[in-house]
Structure 1
Amino acid sequence: MIPQIIENLEMNVVGISIVMKQHETHKIRALWQQFSPRKNEITNLLNNTSIAMQIFSVNENGEPEDSFNMWACVEVSELSEIPNEMKGFTIPKGEYLKVLHKGMNAGETYQKIMSDWLPNSGYVIDDRPHFQVMGEKYKNGSPDSEEDFYLPIKRIA
């Protein structure tokens, strides 16, 4: 795992979202089965990659709420043309930790970031969306699969 700190520009995305809880991972497959066949309805794509995005609400203690929004989406040039039953969202610009994830165990990679990298980094997780970019090397369900994780971070004050 070779983490990179990058400044990510604002991104517009269009897709489908659901509300789910951490243990409801079965909903993710259904979300992508609903979105993937409709991807060609989106006319202003910037590239051919898919994006999985999570938007967490944070409680008064700064901890993520039990439920969150999971998106299956793509990056677009603008949010003017959104197909029926889809939504648009703007991911704000900011610093992100970018990590290449290989294989099928995303939870393990995320846990390494949170327990190994984050405590000694001088950063904390910021209150912006988390997302994963699934490009040419992404192979759903394959140990050879690769995708980039983007975690919103900010310097400890």
Structure 2
Amino acid sequence: MKPKIVQFEEKLIVGISTEMSLVQNKTSELWKSFRGRTKEILNRSSEYFISLQQYPSSYVENFDPHKKFVKWACVEVDAVENMPLGMGRLVVEGGLYAVFNYKGNAENAPAFFQYIYGEWIPNSEYILDDRPQFEVLDAKYKNNDPTSEEEVWVPIKTK
């Protein structure tokens, strides 16, 4: 499984975020509260959705499923005028990303991420960068379906 290495340009996103851990996973509730409100967001620059994680420094290196991080359910926008009440905005800094294609449901995701962090990164010419990781959910994404597909964007920099 070889990723594409992409130079990502800075993007502006709008959405809802919450703090959680893998043990106290609130992803389903986060997306339920966001999906019903996407029509309120003006200036969308694409049709896809973004699931974004802001991990603390050394989250992966010192992995603990109880450690908290911030998760966003969001979309990309060109501007943030008239932002919906209760939503936030975030500028995702540009830089290198390794883009992996994931096919499957959430059950199989831990092995997929173990490969990325445990095998691919250590054996590549890159190290993990301290920027958000995110998944792009386009028309091929089908929640919890084994045929679902998404792009996983992992922030990297040269060793």
Say yes or no: TM over 0.5: yes
Unaligned runs of 5+ in 1: none
- Matched with 1:90 is 91
- The 3-state SS of whatever aligns with 2:68 is strand
- The 3-state SS of whatever aligns with 2:140 is coil
- Matched with 1:133 is 136
- Matched with 2:73 is 72
Residue 55 of structure 1 pairs with residue 54 of structure 2:
yes
- 1:57, 1:64 within 8 Å by CA — same for their partners in 2? no
Residue 108 of structure 1 pairs with residue 111 of structure 2:
yes
Residue type of the alignment partner of 2:77: V
Residue type of the alignment partner of 1:120: N
- 1:58, 1:64 within 8 Å by CA — same for their partners in 2? no
Moved over 2 A (4+): 62-65
| Structure 2: distance between partners of 1:15 and 1:137 | 21
Relative distance call for 1:79 and 1:103 in structure 2 (3 A) is same
Residue 147 of structure 1 pairs with residue 147 of structure 2:
no
Residue type of the alignment partner of 1:22: L
| Normalised TM-score (structure 2) | 0.91
Q: Deviations over 1:39-77 (max 9, x none)?
A: 110011111111000001226xx7478111000000001
Structure (1/2) with the larger strand percentage: 1
Residue type of the alignment partner of 1:150: W
Residue 46 of structure 1 pairs with residue 49 of structure 2:
no
Q: Deviations over 1:90-135 (max 9, x none)?
A: 1000000000000012222111111221111011110000000000
Q: Which moved more, 1:65-74 or 1:141-150?
A: 65-74
- 1:56, 1:64 within 8 Å by CA — same for their partners in 2? no
Percentage of pairs with the same residue: 38
Unaligned runs of 5+ in 2: none
Residue 21 of structure 1 and its aligned partner are, at CA, apart by: 1.2
| Normalised TM-score (structure 1) | 0.92
The alignment yields a C-alpha RMSD, in angstroms, of 1.5
